[in-house]
Amino acid sequence: MDPLHLAIALCPLAVYLFLLGMVNLGQRPYVTNGARDAAALGVGVAGLVVAGPLELFFPESMAFHLGAYVWLLLLGLCGLCLTLFVLLMRPRLVIYNIDRDQLRPLLAALVADLDRDARWAGESLVIPKLGVQLCVETSPGMRIVQLVAAGPQQNYDGWRRLERALALQLRQTRSERNSMGVTLIGLSALLLVTVTFLLVRDPAAVAQAFHEMLRI
């Protein structure tokens, strides 16, 4: 793979890994919903899609008529596919930099304030007042807890209320820095340094690859 395509593939991924590392190094848990989390991951791997499948199955006949503008159409199509995927996802909350044992009592106290009729069944939770049914899931090796919708019947407004209340609750919670954040930031820096070195080493080849990629 030439330096240009390598840069396109790895730079968005490196930025995503850097931001993820910064979140994991924070001293407070970070709450986001599944849509934003999936969208961020989609943007992070977008370069791999452009340098891989889009370049491999590039419509040459369309490029003959539209030139470089065909890339706008392809990127727009990828954006629409990502948007559709995010919209079809079941509700989900992702809490970074916290473990299950630390989150469980905080979540139980919060839910008791939101709805006295809330019920626990193992790792499952039903909050009738909010119209929310969820399961608590953890990621092995990572200090990440996910609250995943259990079943298709969900109240999206109830999930937004739960997200806001949980984010407010966790603002006062301190947590240990996750050492995985250092690894993610180090990997991000390694990718960026490698890509920069390859781009600077042969700028003429990069310019040639750029013209060939845009079919101009």
With a threshold of 0.75, does the pTM exceed it? Answer: yes
- 57 with 154, same domain: the answer is no
- 95 with 202, same domain: the answer is no
Residues 60-89: pLDDT tens digits? 777 677 777 888 888 999 999 999 999 989
- 114 with 189, same domain: the answer is no
- 207 with 108, same domain: the answer is no
User: What token pair was written down for 139?
Assistant: 């990621």
Residues 98-127: pLDDT tens digits? 888 889 999 999 998 988 899 998 889 999
Q: Beta 92-96 vs 119-121: how paired, if at all?
A: unpaired
- 79 with 8, same domain: the answer is yes
In total, how many domains does the chain have? 2
- 42 with 115, same domain: the answer is no
